[in-house]
Amino acid sequence: MAKGKNKSSETRSGKPSRGSNGHHTRTNHKRMEMKFSNAGTGANSKEAGFPVKLAMWDFDHCDPKRCSGKKLERLGLIKSLRVGQKFQGIVVSPNGKGVVCPDDKETVEEFGASVVECSWARLDEVPFNKIGGKHERLLPYLVAANQVNYGRPWRLNCVEALAACFAIVGRVDLAAELLEHFSWGLGFLELNKELLEMYQKCTDSESVKKVEEEWLEKIDKEVQERKSQSREGDIWLQGNTNRDLQDMSDDEEFDSEQYYSEENTERKIRYDNLGNVLISEEENESEEEEEVRYDALGNIIESEEEAAELKYDSLGNLIEDDEQEVEEDLARTTEKLKKLET
């Protein structure tokens, strides 16, 4: 059985669905069976000239045109695995326990690396108990460079996840070779250069986690510093919209789990390469809505009451309190005189 097993064989319109190669699913099953009857041996990526095995479980959640896993498949670089099939190499997966580390190098070189091609918003539909393998891993903190999730920490696409795995174990050559197929691809290595170099110097999963924690603490510290500078009223920093990753929830412990949540999928958050949140256009707009109001003398109107108290004459001139009182006195006196005359 092949790839199509993961999906329903019919589309909503009732027509048989088409696989990423454009063939109807049933035809696809047969072809895939033949093509990947050697699944787990890695012949496919090697035949395409890539020196290690690449594999994925494809749940067809994503737009094939924007999906990096599908592109690798079209290039003949990655093999599709079916549900129920396990993978001997490193499985880079949201279901991983430890993180990828340099100690994984041998496993990567001998048995390859795999990913789960699915939507971040539909992870709960993935039967993680029926896929995976003995070496399931999370990725440590890294920032996406792909066009869909640019700047987002942890949420890498399939090619970035595979490249990250290769880079961490010290095979940046393999990472670059994969990423070169994508216009933005090498930007991923550039964006994460410093951090990747630090991970490469580690050994096991724990040591990578430690580096990750220190990095997050560093980011946090920088943001706190920026915040306090901003509070002190530095005019240049007041306009700075970069905010802490932890601003999203100052009290919560920061972990990758949060970033897999649907709630976060919906958020329009962008990050720079330090993990700082860049406020989105929408958020900025709402901040701009709180416009500053000025009185006729150019003073900032601080409150509604203050605004209500201000009075203007028919020419739009501010009626200063004294002037107004004088006018009222005059009117009263004129009234009295009129009465006396009568």
Ligand X SMILES: C[S@@+](CC[C@H](N)C(=O)[O-])C[C@H]1O[C@@H](n2cnc3c(N)ncnc32)[C@H](O)[C@@H]1O
Residue 25 phi/psi, 5-degree rounding, is -55, -45
Pairing mode of beta strands 242-243, 277-278: antiparallel
Q: Which two tokens stand for residue 60?
A: 């067809």
- 87 vs 120, beta carbon nearer ligand X: 120
- 100 vs 279, beta carbon nearer ligand X: 100
- 183 vs 303, beta carbon nearer ligand X: 183
Output the smallest distance, CB 196 to ligand X, in A.
Answer: 14
Report the alpha-carbon distance of residue 108 to residue 178 in Å, rounded: 15
CB-CB contact of 238 with 293 (8 Å) = no
Q: Which two tokens stand for residue 289?
A: 């809505």
- 71 vs 243, beta carbon nearer ligand X: 71
Virtual torsion, Cα 136, 141, 143, 148, nearest 10 deg: 50
Report the alpha-carbon distance of residue 141 to residue 255 in Å, rounded: 9
CB-CB contact of 158 with 59 (8 Å) = no
Name, in order, each residue with C-beta under 8 angstroms of 98's C-beta and a sequence gap of 6 or more: 137, 138, 205, 206
Binding site for ligand X (CB under 6 A): 62, 67-69, 92-94, 96, 115-118, 120, 138-139, 154, 156-158, 161, 256
- 17 vs 95, beta carbon nearer ligand X: 95
- 42 vs 96, beta carbon nearer ligand X: 96
Going by the annotation, the residues of the binding site for S-adenosyl-L-methionine are: 68, 116, 139, 154
- 133 vs 279, beta carbon nearer ligand X: 133
CB-CB contact of 143 with 275 (8 Å) = yes
Task: Dump the DSSP string for 233-286.
Answer: T-HHHHT--EE-GGGGGTTS---HHHHTSHHHHHS--EE-TT-PEEPPHHHHHH
By beta-carbon distance, which residue lies closest to ligand X? 157
Output the smallest distance, CB 61 to ligand X, in A.
Answer: 7
Name, in order, each residue with C-beta under 8 angstroms of 200's C-beta and a sequence gap of 6 or more: 102, 167, 168, 169, 170
CB-CB contact of 97 with 121 (8 Å) = no
